[in-house]
Amino acid sequence: MQAAEITAPEKAHVVEVEKPAPGPGEALIEVAAAGVCGTDLHIFHGEYEATYPIIPGHEFSGTVVAVGEGVTRYQPGDRVTVDPNIPCNRCPACQRNAPNQCENLAAVGVTRAGAFAQYVVAPEGNIFPIGDMSFAAAALVEPLACVVWGLKRVQVQPGDSALIFGAGPMGCLLLQAVKHAGAARVIVTDIAPYRLEQAAALGATETILADDRQEQRLKALAPGGYDVVVEATGLPHVLEQAFSYARARGKIWVFGVCPRDARASFVPYDVFRKDLSIIGSFAVSRTFHESIALIQGGAVRVEPLISHRLPLSQFVAGLDLAERDPKRMKVQFAIS
Ligand SMILES: [Zn+2]
Ligand SMILES: [Zn+2]
């Protein structure tokens, strides 16, 4: 089969490899669509805990074509997506029902072969049926499931005002999910006008360009501050700014992935005096069901977020697009 392999940092090729076979309790899936995520770029640049060589790709959809011994819930022809995270189910974090904090977390496309390939193998318990959802949409269930996990932690309240830093694919999922969770006003800010147009089309109450009038305009829209401030850029200096926009009793949601060794400073007195909450959310914690339901029910629109669809043969060009194109949103490979 054809697969995109990263053999070492900065080295990727599309190669012919042996088609995998499903082991006991696993299914073989013919990949239809697979999206590029920041994690894939980090793996490409050697900034993430991956084992090389690796076939990346963890946001995907496809059709079951074979099942291993003991698999009862799926059969060839089923249209599915996959929760890539495979917790060990025996460490203290797993025992405390925190599978995303598993000490031995494995993941399709990070620690084992992923979906930038014609076929991928996944454990039965990680597979979810997608009904008649398009394969392109179903490849966005995973990123939305990350948003859903954070939403459960942040607990947006009816009537809340929210400010989101970052209008990329994640910012646009966050915007829709936060609104659906009850926020009355969702303001989105970004340096890229193209991305702000997407956020406006997907229901942002206001979009604000991050220029030298950004602070004045954001503060004018919510003189008392915002109930929820979401950092979705992964830039430490943006997180630092986020504090000054939170209302008393506001919540600061750390969603963007800052570099591992980055530092950001804040004023502890303000956190104390204003009853602020700083809430992180990491990946997915058994939130695929909710994510699928939000897409199927029409609460979150994902297809407008796909800006590029490429064949797998253009893998390296696709990574480059996902990193640099000024009009990029989600880049997907259309595989079968
Ligand atoms: Zn991802
Ligand atoms: Zn574990």
Can you give the pLDDT at residue 117? 98
Alpha helices per DSSP H over 18-140:
38-44, 92-95, 135-138
Q: Distance, CA 247 to ligand 1 centroid (Å)?
A: 30
Give the ligand whose atoms come closest to the C-alpha of residue 322: 1
pLDDT of 9 higher than 90: yes
Segment 201-260, tens digit of pLDDT: 999 999 999 999 999 999 999 999 999 999 999 999 999 999 999 999 999 999 999 988
Q: Distance, CA 92 to ligand 2 centroid (Å)?
A: 7
Share of the chain above pLDDT 70, in %: 100
Asked if residue 212 and residue 199 are part of one domain, the reply reads yes
Asked if residue 135 and residue 8 are part of one domain, the reply reads yes
CB atoms under 10 Å from CB of 196, counted, come to 21
In a domain, 21, yes or no: yes
Give the ligand whose atoms come closest to the C-alpha of residue 330: 1
Q: Distance, CA 22 to ligand 2 centroid (Å)?
A: 23
Q: Distance, CA 225 to ligand 2 centroid (Å)?
A: 39
Pairing of strands 79-82, 59-67: antiparallel
Give the ligand whose atoms come closest to the C-alpha of residue 109: 1
Angle at 252 between CA 268 and CA 294, to 5 degrees: 165
Q: Per-residue DSSP letters for 91-124? A: SHHHHTT-GGG-TT-EEBTTTB--SSBSEEEEEG
Segment 159-204, tens digit of pLDDT: 999 999 999 999 999 999 999 999 999 999 999 999 999 999 999 9
Asked if residue 24 and residue 121 are part of one domain, the reply reads yes
Q: Distance, CA 221 to ligand 1 centroid (Å)?
A: 32
Q: Distance, CA 155 to ligand 1 centroid (Å)?
A: 22
Question: How many folded domains does the chain comprise?
Answer: 2
Q: Is residue 332 within 8 Å of 35, Cβ to Cβ?
A: yes
Can you give the pLDDT at residue 51? 82
Segment 111-135, tens digit of pLDDT: 999 999 999 999 999 999 999 999 9
pLDDT of 48 higher than 80: no
In a domain, 98, yes or no: yes
Nearest in space to 309 (alpha carbons), one of 173, 139, 64, 129? 139
Q: Distance, CA 279 to ligand 1 centroid (Å)?
A: 19
In a domain, 108, yes or no: yes
CB atoms under 10 Å from CB of 111, counted, come to 16
In a domain, 34, yes or no: yes
Q: Distance, CA 284 to ligand 2 centroid (Å)?
A: 14
Asked if residue 170 and residue 150 are part of one domain, the reply reads yes
Give the ligand whose atoms come closest to the C-alpha of residue 92: 2
Q: CATH no. for residue 310?
A: 3.90.180.10
Give residue 273's pLDDT band: very low, low, confident or very high (50, 70, 90).
very high
Asked if residue 97 and residue 71 are part of one domain, the reply reads yes
How far apart are the C-alpha atoms of 174 and 317, rounded to whole Å? 27
Share of the chain above pLDDT 90, in %: 97
pLDDT of 49 higher than 80: no
Give residue 47's pLDDT band: very low, low, confident or very high (50, 70, 90).
confident
Mean pLDDT of the chain: 97
Q: CATH no. for residue 213?
A: 3.40.50.720
Question: What is the distance, to the nearest Å, from the Cα of residue 281 to the centroid of all Cα atoms in its chain?
Answer: 11
Nearest in space to 2 (alpha carbons), one of 107, 110, 120, 81? 120
Asked if residue 110 and residue 210 are part of one domain, the reply reads no
Q: Look-up: residue for tokens 């309240």?
A: 157
Give the ligand whose atoms come closest to the C-alpha of residue 39: 1
Q: Is residue 67 within 8 Å of 74, Cβ to Cβ?
A: yes
Asked if residue 101 and residue 11 are part of one domain, the reply reads yes
Asked if residue 171 and residue 134 are part of one domain, the reply reads no
Can you give the pLDDT at residue 50? 78
Asked if residue 260 and residue 136 are part of one domain, the reply reads no
What is the model's pTM?
0.97
Q: Residue 243 is part of which domain span?
A: 145-280
